[in-house]
Amino acid sequence: MAHVWRMIAQRLALGFLTLFVVSLLIFGATELLPGDFAEAILGQSATPETIAAIRRDLGLDLPFHTRYIGWLSNVLQGDFGKSLANQQPVIELISKRLGNTLFLALYAAAMAVPLALILGILAALFRNTVFDRMSNALALTSISFPEFFVAYILILWFAQTGYFPSIVRFSPGIGFGESLYRSFLPALTLTLVVTAHMMRMTRAALINLLASPYIEMARLKGMSPMRVILRHALPNALAPIINVVALNLAYLITGVVVVEVVFVYPGLGQLMVDSVSRRDIPVVQAVALIFASAYVLLNLTADVLSTLSNPRLMHRR
Amino acid sequence: MSILISIFWFAVAVVGAMALGWLFRAFVVAVSPQRQAQEMRTAPLTASFGLLVILIYVLVAALAPIIAPFGESEVVGGEFLPWDSTYLLGTDNLGRDMLTRMIYGARNTVGIAFTITALAFFVGTVLGLLAAVVGGWLDQVLSRSVDVLMAIPSLIFSLLLLTIFGTSVLSLVLVIATVDATRVFRLARSVAQGIVVMDYIEAARLRGEGKWWLITREILPNAMAPLVAEFGLRFCFVFLAISGLSFLGLGIQPPTADWGGMVRDNATLITFGDLTPFLPAGAIALLTVAVNFVVDWQLHKSSGLKE
């Protein structure tokens, strides 16, 4: 087992290194700003004196590495600075919305992952039948649809007829079931967007294995096709499946931005879009850092899990 | 009920599309010379339908000023007028003709997406092949920087860059092209690495050919098939990305007609059961599906899979 722990530790270290570089990139991106931060804050009303004052205020006259270390240590303590738009601390803007976005992403994942796995296994089981072709064509189509198209179709079908609300509002004190109901449409949109890819990859991973001799053997022994797939093919297909599931969960992170805007969902994605058009750099930095960390961590988890699903690595002699 | 009706129309659309694909294939087979005809005859219906759609889009985009009934951002009537004989698809939220906007949208959205893809491909392929041919520190530097850029989800990274550079068409093109060039670089490098170790490359090196010759004459022709398929897929991603950004109001800026922005501007109509906002969204989806069909066919052909 020792080497497994060592490998996981290595991956974790690499993951944190990536996070560090990502934070450097997100902070460093402001250096590309035409002019600088102080001019961006002041806009039209910039005079040399006010610019110098703000520079001193924000520490912009310090060298890059000093500012970066200061920013990073503040971020690690939960201080993302103040929003340029309304002078509120960024952390206050973010904290409630982060929970909402996580709720939506988990909700969508809880629907999408089982659905994709079941459909993928069924498609592999009934490959080259009408069911397989239909689900394949549908998957290809839904990959090609922009998220907002899917979202508006769902609004037309479900919200128009009054089954579900098309605008998500969380009032304080609503129960868990009520929040599930209110955010059903955005979660369903995200599910539809990510399921197709996961399903196709599950099917491909399984079918890839079906040509191998040991599957042939299992079939010759007279096993039922269902058992061949579930007991013999699936365990060996786990690594690619875990990878694609993680990749798509990471994709949820970006999908969430558009979907939140369509349904006016009070989450991070909406905040980010609003801040981009206002060019509110501290908020964008903070949200980008959160999204990027989630992305890096998901990829890391997938890496570790797909290693753990490989018995050759787990029980190496 | 409305769901059942929608499913029915969807089925009708699929059957109609396949019929169109069949007609188009028969037509192309009849008019093209022997060799192309041979190739088209084996094309699946989905692929020939895809080709037909792409052809129509290109024609509409090229001839936009001729076929559009009004000017691109000309206000011609009241807001949200219904469909009638003057305004075939009604008017939008500012009273501009919807059909005209759709036609110009083809030119702007598709044109910009194509420009971005071409730019991303040029940069990504050149750097990727160079990294594979030169190797050593250049490869390390390029690959590691691409790794870092790819560690951030592309939409988030584009949003960050757009905050800094502001939202204009130029910065949109440069930002998305940069983000996508990293993906192209990965593919081009890995494809080229398989080719660089071949004997004929060694022979060319011993002959004393320069790097530029190696890249353009020896490696590129052999790396073409996967790169062309990737170009199609990349185009889809870029197209969806810029329509997504325009939908968020951060992409192509008004008054330039653009499908993503048109959906956002007219979305209120959906709550009244008016389907007009679905037209630009559907136009986006249709083109992506069409390109995907063609790419699928090409991939299938080049992989030699017969299943």
Task: Return the closest-CA partner of residue A30 out of A88, A74, A84, A79.
Answer: A84
In a domain, B71, yes or no: yes
Question: Which of A196-205, A215-224, B67-76: highest mean pLDDT?
Answer: A215-224
In a domain, B4, yes or no: no
Strand partners, A89: A82
Flag whether pLDDT at B54 surpasses 50: yes
Question: Which of A145-149, A313-317, B179-183: highest mean pLDDT?
Answer: B179-183
In a domain, A163, yes or no: yes
The pLDDT, as a whole number, for residue B173 is 93
3-class DSSP string for chain B: CHHHHHHHHHHHHHHHHHHHHHHHHHHHHHHCCHHHHHHHHCCCHHHHHHHHHHHHHHHHHHCHHHHCCCCCCCECCCCCCCCCCCCCCCECCCCEEHHHHHHHHHHHHHHHHHHHHHHHHHHHHHHHHHHHHHCHHHHHHHHHHHHHHHCCCHHHHHHHHHHHHCCCHHHHHHHHHHHHHHHHHHHHHHHHHHHHCCHHHHHHHHHCCCHHHHHHHHHHHHHHHHHHHHHHHHHHHHHHHHHHHHHCCCCCCCCCCCHHHHHHHHHHHHHHCCCCCHHHHHHHHHHHHHHHHHHHHHHHHHHCCCC
Count structural domains, chain A: 1
In a domain, B256, yes or no: yes
In a domain, B252, yes or no: yes
Q: Which residue range is the domain that position B274 belongs to?
A: 66-303
The pLDDT, as a whole number, for residue A36 is 62
Structure tokens at B236: 């889809």
In a domain, A242, yes or no: yes
The pLDDT, as a whole number, for residue B307 is 42
| Distance from C-alpha of A254 to C-alpha of A258, rounded to nearest angstrom | 8
Helix axes B220-247, B169-196, angle to 10 degrees: 150
Q: Using the beta-carbon criterion (under 8 Å), do A292 and B156 form an inter-chain contact?
A: yes
Tell me: cis bond preceding A34? Omega within 30 of 0 counts: no
| Distance from C-alpha of A309 to C-alpha of B9, rounded to nearest angstrom | 45
If pLDDT is split at 50, 70 and 90, which confidence band does B257 have? confident
Residue with tokens 């931005």: A257
| Distance from C-alpha of B105 to C-alpha of A144, rounded to nearest angstrom | 18
Does A91 touch chain B if contact means CB atoms closer than 8 Å? no
Contact assessment for residue A250 and residue A299, using Cβ atoms and an 8 Å cutoff = yes
What is the per-residue pLDDT across A235-252, written as a single tens digit (0 to 9) for each?
888 888 888 888 888 788
In a domain, A24, yes or no: no
Does B271 touch chain A if contact means CB atoms closer than 8 Å? yes
The pLDDT, as a whole number, for residue A74 is 83
CATH number at residue B298: 1.10.3720.10
Instruction: Please give, rounded to a whole number of angstroms, the shortest distance from the CA of A302 to a CA of chain B.
Output: 14
Does A143 touch chain B if contact means CB atoms closer than 8 Å? yes
Task: Give me the mean pLDDT over the A136-160 stretch.
Answer: 82
Task: Return the closest-CA partner of residue B265 out of B284, B289, B245, B247.
Answer: B247
Instruction: Please give, rounded to a whole number of angstroms, the shortest distance from the CA of B110 to a CA of chain A.
Output: 14
Task: Return the closest-CA partner of residue B293 out of B27, B44, B2.
Answer: B44
Contact assessment for residue A22 and residue A72, using Cβ atoms and an 8 Å cutoff = no
In a domain, B199, yes or no: yes
Helix axes B278-303, B45-62, angle to 10 degrees: 130
Strand partners, B96: B75
In a domain, A2, yes or no: no
Instruction: Please give, rounded to a whole number of angstroms, the shortest distance from the CA of B211 to a CA of chain A.
Output: 32
Instruction: Tell me the one-letter amino acid at B163.
Output: T
B43 dihedral zone (left: phi>0; alpha: psi -120 to 50; beta):
beta
Contact assessment for residue B76 and residue B91, using Cβ atoms and an 8 Å cutoff = yes
Using CB atoms, pick whichever of B149, B281, B293 lies closest to residue A146: B281
Q: Which residue range is the domain that position A97 belongs to?
A: 90-314
Count structural domains, chain B: 1
In a domain, A218, yes or no: yes
Flag whether pLDDT at A145 surpasses 80: yes
If pLDDT is split at 50, 70 and 90, which confidence band does A316 have? low
The interface predicted TM-score of the complex, written ipTM, equals: 0.81
If pLDDT is split at 50, 70 and 90, which confidence band does B306 have? very low
If pLDDT is split at 50, 70 and 90, which confidence band does B176 have? very high
What is chain A written as a DSSP string?
-HHHHHHHHHHHHHHHHHHHHHHHHHHHGGGGSSS-HHHHHHGGG--HHHHHHHHHHHTTTS-HHHHHHHHHHHHHTT---B-TTT--BHHHHHHHHHHHHHHHHHHHHHHHHHHHHHHHHHHHHTTTSHHHHHHHHHHHHHHHS-HHHHHHHHIIIIITTTSS-SS----TT--HHHHHHHTHHHHHHHHHHHHHHHHHHHHHHHHHHHTSHHHHHHHHTT--HHHIIIIIIHHHHHHHHHHHHHHHHHHHHHHHHHHHHHTT--SHHHHHHHHHHHT-HHHHHHHHHHHHHHHHHHHHHHHHHHHHT-HHHHT--
In a domain, B30, yes or no: no
Q: Using the beta-carbon criterion (under 8 Å), do B271 and A166 form an inter-chain contact?
A: yes
Looking at beta carbons, which residues of chain B come within 8 Å of A157? 2-3, 6
The gap from C-alpha B306 to its chain's centroid, in whole angstroms, comes to 27
In a domain, B13, yes or no: no
In a domain, B277, yes or no: yes
What is the per-residue pLDDT across B63-105, written as a single tens digit (0 to 9) for each?
888 888 887 777 777 777 777 777 777 788 788 888 888 899 8
- Count of pairs with CB atoms under 8 A, one residue in A, one in B: 145
Task: Give me the mean pLDDT over the A281-308 stretch.
Answer: 86
Task: Give me the mean pLDDT over the B2-11 stretch.
Answer: 77
Flag whether pLDDT at B304 surpasses 70: no
Q: Exposure of B84 by Cβ count < 10 A (0-12 exposed, 13-18 middle, 19+ buried)?
A: exposed
Does B163 touch chain A if contact means CB atoms closer than 8 Å? yes
Provide, rounded to the nearest whole percent, the portion of chain B with pLDDT above 70.
97
Chain length of chain B: 307
Does B160 touch chain A if contact means CB atoms closer than 8 Å? yes
In a domain, A235, yes or no: yes
Cα dist. A70→A62, A95, A158, A287 in Å?
11, 21, 49, 18
The residues, any chain, with a CB within 8 Å of residue A232's CB and separated by 6 or more, are A214, A215, A218, A223
CATH number at residue A274: 1.10.3720.10
Residue with tokens 């949208």: B105
Instruction: Tell me the one-letter amino acid at B117.
Output: T
Does B292 touch chain A if contact means CB atoms closer than 8 Å? yes
In a domain, A10, yes or no: no
Of A181-190, A255-264, B35-44, B155-164, give the lowest mean pLDDT range. Answer: B35-44
Does B3 touch chain A if contact means CB atoms closer than 8 Å? yes
